[in-house]
Amino acid sequence: MTEHLCVGPEGDNLLGFLASVGALVTLDRMWQDGHVRLYWKKMVRWHPVIQVEVEATEDEMLDALYDELKKRKINITDEDGNPAENTNKITLTAFRRQAESCVQQATVKERFDADFMAAIAGEALSKEDYVADTAFRTQSGVGHQNFLGIMRNLIEKTTKEDLRDALFSRWRYVKARNMSLRYDPIEDRRYAYRASNPEGELPVTMPGANRLAIEALVCFPTFPSGGKLLTTCFEEKYVRWPIWERPITACTLRSLLLRKELYQPEMLGSLEAIGVATIFVSARISTGGDRYRNFTPAGVLV
């Protein structure tokens, strides 16, 4: 058994949490017999520890991650068969056709595409016959910022060194365009919070962490309720996530994220019995009439 402490991601940062989950689910697909698990270790901040029952060095794990991530494609198309750029612009007909195809092709060991479709949108109309989509969607197409388009860009351009920087180095942000999903609070670039107008400036980002966050979305499926489409771990515009101290698999994590105790304040304390140390919560904020979305710094829920 080997353990790898990831000093890059921090548990109170939504992007750090999603990057850690993305690494877990990706390695789980690669090493299904390796019993990959993840838990969090409290240092000054919470940092993830990846545990595998096969002997694997840091470089071997990065090689496995990189090779698996390069295979991924975002094959979602619009009504005309062209690559869809945004989840909020997929028609119900186009979504249903592709979702049914993904389900038919899914197997026990390979079901990422089906899970990804369930994560990004659902069969609930939002407006103008477009499907309702995930609460994790942060771009709408305004300013040439396209949610699915940025995912494709990250898949194409993220390097092995980007992954190393995201997991095994203290985060040092780089400036790059169309390499960010806006999950990190540092990417909130509203003019009112800055000394100068950010328009025209390159945003700062962690490409490797954003790339891993794409993989994490499969753990947060959408589901219809009361005529609306809801997203796992969201309550209105607030997203919450647990930090746990006992090693768990990707399958166990999916169950943990659906536990009702996460959403019932009077029951939060009972999660301690299964190893949950704390729960963080962040608010999704919108600017420009919901054209852009960001997430606030996290607070401690319990």
* 71: β partners: none
Domain ranges of the chain: 2-72+139-300
pLDDT tens across 48-62, in order? 999 998 888 999 999
Of the pLDDT bands very low, low, confident and very high (cuts 50, 70, 90), residue 191 is low
Q: Which helix (H) or strand (E) holds 118?
A: helix 112-120
pLDDT score at 189: 65
How distant, in Å, are the alpha carbons of 234, 235, 300 from that of 268? 16, 15, 12
pLDDT score at 58: 94
pLDDT score at 200: 63
Of the pLDDT bands very low, low, confident and very high (cuts 50, 70, 90), residue 193 is low
pLDDT tens across 179-189, in order? 999 999 998 86
Average pLDDT (256-262) is: 91
Nearest to 32 by CA among 249, 197, 266: 249
Q: Tell if the pTM clears 0.75, that is, is over it.
A: yes
Task: Kindly give the interhelix angle for 14-30 and 160-168, rounded to the nearest 10 degrees.
Answer: 120
Of the pLDDT bands very low, low, confident and very high (cuts 50, 70, 90), residue 149 is very high
